[in-house]
Structure formats: structure tokens, C-alpha cells
Amino acid sequence: MCSNEPVKKFQSIELFSGAGGLALGLHAAGFQHRALYEWNPSAVETLLYNQRMGHASLRGTKITRGDVRQVDFTQYLGVDLVAGGPPCQPFSMGGKAAGMNDSRDMFPQAIRAVAEAQPKAFIFENVRGLLRPAFSNYVEYIRLQMEFPTFPISQNISWDQNLARLERHKETVGSSCGDLRYRVHLHLANAADYGVPQQRNRVFFVGFRSDIETDWSFPMPAYNDPSRWIPLSKAIGDLPDPSSKKASKWANHVFQSGAKPYPGHTGSPLDRPAKALKAGAHGVPGGENMILFPDGSVRYLTVRESARVQTFPDDYKFLGSWTEAMRQLGNAVPVKLAEIVGRSVAKALSRQVRQKVKASDSETLQSS
């Protein structure tokens, strides 16, 4: 077996799946999705369409449109992995960065899923804005809840008072075994450093249940020198002009008129990774989703070109209008980055499985 192949398929569930960037990457990394949950109807249509078309990453997966607050995650007790991207608008500038005061903050539901399913590991991702100094105490609050997901959070006091309670709890229990507990890693990654043709910074929370023995660390970047970054031209260079007849042979490769630069939004030069695609709070910000050609002209990226930037495969189709499809892509995790992170977690879990098998074999020999 090739060394970069996962040892086995682990079982996973995913919240806030969007159009499937994290799901596709994790499947390639060795995870079989039991269930995906998403609220946005267009994103769910995209998932269901690709499932009907037989996309391997979604085969046998229950795809549900619904409010995760209504899901009983105890039905997935013992699943290997819980993953997802809680809505990032509370912590992004485009979403007004209201943080913990934003009703769209779904981290409490991600933590509840971990508490109820008690997975071996979890992966949650979010925007870089989460690491703003203004949110530092709240991030620690999130991290400690992930460490102790069954700790009772009081609804009668403020989050910072609950943070103080969690800090006292951690001091009290120390390193002792007892209630459900996770080792939580927090890491900021630039997708361009991992071979994605886009400068996209994402924050990852990765946790392992305390009984899972592993020395896991976040994957080292292989492209962390800007001279090695993959430029936009390499990602989309083989696609035909979207206004030509040849473009009709490519799914989602349709010319979109109306592109124009404005201050602070001038498009992505072809000789560098694309700027981060963004969904926007009220539509699609044009500057982040444009190509800046050498002659100074600009045009919008097509949906297919944007999918290339997000490292989705060409056989994966996005449903909905251009604006809606671009919103799905602007909210997505780059598939390649998700695969790299997921593969590292799958390898850690595989080592745990092998260690248990060896221990069992050793006990058998000793007793024979």
C-alpha cells in the first residue's frame, strides 16, 4: 500500500457542510460520511445532485437539510470523527464581526455534537477573523468547551462567567481521568502553503479524545515559500474562454458580465494565487472574485474557475444562480487543504488501531 493512502475508512458525520468542500477532502483522506447536515437549500441541492450523479465522496451518505439544533447526535455515539465549519459570519468582517453576540454563532452546536457523539476526533474550521484580539477570550471559551464538552454551561450567566467556571474546572481536574475530555489543537493555516492556488487563511480546531494516544501535530506545509505557491494561471489555464463555444463543454463555465474594479477590490493577478474567494453578507464581493489580466482588464471568475481555485474536481457541479453558486464556493473549505488535514487525523487514528491490535495480540500470546 502506498504510504500516503489511508489505512481504512473511518466513519464520520459533518455539520454545516455547505457545498461539500470539507466533505470531499475528508472522504479522500479516508473518512466515510454517515451523515451531512446543512441549512442552505441551494447548497443541499448541490450535495444531492452530485450524490445522484454517483460522486464517490457522497455515496451512501445521508444528506439532510435542517437545523442542527434539532438533531439528536446520540444516534452517532462512538463515530470516529465529527467535523464541520460553523457559520463564520459572526467572526468575519463581511459578517460585521459580532462574534459571541451574533445569533449565527453555531459553535455551541458543534460542541453539543461532540458531547453527544463522543467521537475519537473532531475537526472544525473557521475564518482567520476568529483570532482577532477582541475575540481572544471567547476563543479560549470555545477551546475549553471543546476540551470538556459535557461540562454544564449555565444559561443564567454570561459566557465570560462560564469561561471562569471552565477555567476553575480545569484547575480542579488537572490531568486526572474522568469525564469526557479532548486534547484540542488550534492552528491557523494559509491554503496557499498547502498547494491550493488561493491565499485563504483558515483556523482549525482539531481534537482527540483523551483515551486516543497520539502525538499528532498539524501537517507541515510543503509550499510555504511564496516562490512555490501555485498561481491562478496554472489552476485555470487549460479552461477555454468562457464566452467561447468550447466553454459549453465544461459544467459551470459560463461568462458573467459586469465585472469592474473598485478601491480595495482589484481582482486576482494570474501570476499569483487567487485572493480568497468570499461569499459576502449581501451578495458576492466582486473584487475577490475577479481575474486581473496583464493589460489591466478584469472579468469575473466563472463558477468552474472558482471551483478550480477551491480545488474541487471538475466532475463536481454547483447548482443555483452564479451568485448563489459563488456564495457556496466562497463559504467552502479548499478540498485539498481539507484532505491534507483529514489525512493526518486518519493516520493518527490508524496508528491507534494498530497499537490496539498489537496489544491484543501480545495479550493473547502471553495467555496461551
List pLDDT tens digits, range 91-110: 544 444 444 444 568 999 99
Residue 184 belongs to some domain of the structure = yes
Say yes or no: 218 and 254 in one domain. Answer: no
What length is written for the chain?
Answer: 368
Say yes or no: 84 and 23 in one domain. Answer: yes
Q: What pLDDT digit, counting tens, does each position of 3-37 carry?
A: 454 445 899 999 999 999 999 999 999 999 999 99
Comparing C-alpha atoms, which of 30, 14, 1 is closest to residue 347? 30
Instruction: Kindly state the average pLDDT of the residues 323-344.
Output: 96
Query: What are the cell numbers at 169?
Result: 474546572
Residue 316 belongs to some domain of the structure = yes
Say yes or no: 142 and 22 in one domain. Answer: yes
pLDDT at res. 287 = 61
Say yes or no: 69 and 190 in one domain. Answer: yes
Is position 88 annotated as part of the catalytic site? yes
Q: Residue 179 — very low, low, confident or very high, per pLDDT cuts 50/70/90?
A: confident
Cα–Cα distances in Å, from 249 out to 235, 239, 314? 18, 10, 11
The residue that leads in pLDDT, 240 or 265, is 240
Say yes or no: 128 and 270 in one domain. Answer: no
Q: Residue 240 — very low, low, confident or very high, per pLDDT cuts 50/70/90?
A: very high
Side-chain-side CA neighbours of residue 138 (13 Å)? 20
Degrees (nearest 5) of the Cα angle 130, 132, 133?
130
To the nearest whole number, what is the mean pLDDT of the chain? 89
**CA torsion through residues 139, 140, 145, 146, sign:** positive
Least confident of 173-177, 264-268, 284-288, 352-356: 284-288
Say yes or no: 196 and 236 in one domain. Answer: no
Residue 2 belongs to some domain of the structure = no
Q: Which domain holds residue 60?
A: 10-222+333-365
Residue 206: which CATH number?
3.40.50.150
Mapping DSSP to helix (H, G, I), strand (E, B) and coil, where does residue 324 land?
helix
Cα–Cα distances in Å, from 197 out to 233, 269, 271? 9, 12, 10
Q: Residue 280 — very low, low, confident or very high, per pLDDT cuts 50/70/90?
A: low
Instruction: Kindly state the average pLDDT of the residues 295-301.
Output: 95
Residue 165 belongs to some domain of the structure = yes
Interatomic CA distance for residues 230 and 274, integer angstroms: 9
Cα–Cα distances in Å, from 275 out to 112, 136, 283, 286, 290? 34, 26, 17, 11, 9
How many structural domains comprise the chain?
2
Say yes or no: 76 and 189 in one domain. Answer: yes
Say yes or no: 150 and 123 in one domain. Answer: yes
Say yes or no: 250 and 149 in one domain. Answer: no
pLDDT at res. 94 = 45
User: Which entry of 13, 29, 35, 88 is annotated as an active-site residue?
Assistant: 88
Residue 17 belongs to some domain of the structure = yes
Instruction: Kindly state the average pLDDT of the residues 40-63.
Output: 97
What count of other Cβ atoms lies within 10 Å of the Cβ of residue 269? Answer: 16
Say yes or no: 325 and 351 in one domain. Answer: no
Residue 239: which CATH number?
3.90.120.10
Say yes or no: 218 and 155 in one domain. Answer: yes
Q: What pLDDT digit, counting tens, does each position of 122-158 carry?
A: 999 998 989 999 899 999 999 999 999 999 999 999 9
Residue 50 belongs to some domain of the structure = yes
Residue 47 belongs to some domain of the structure = yes
Say yes or no: 117 and 53 in one domain. Answer: yes
Interatomic CA distance for residues 253 and 242, integer angstroms: 6
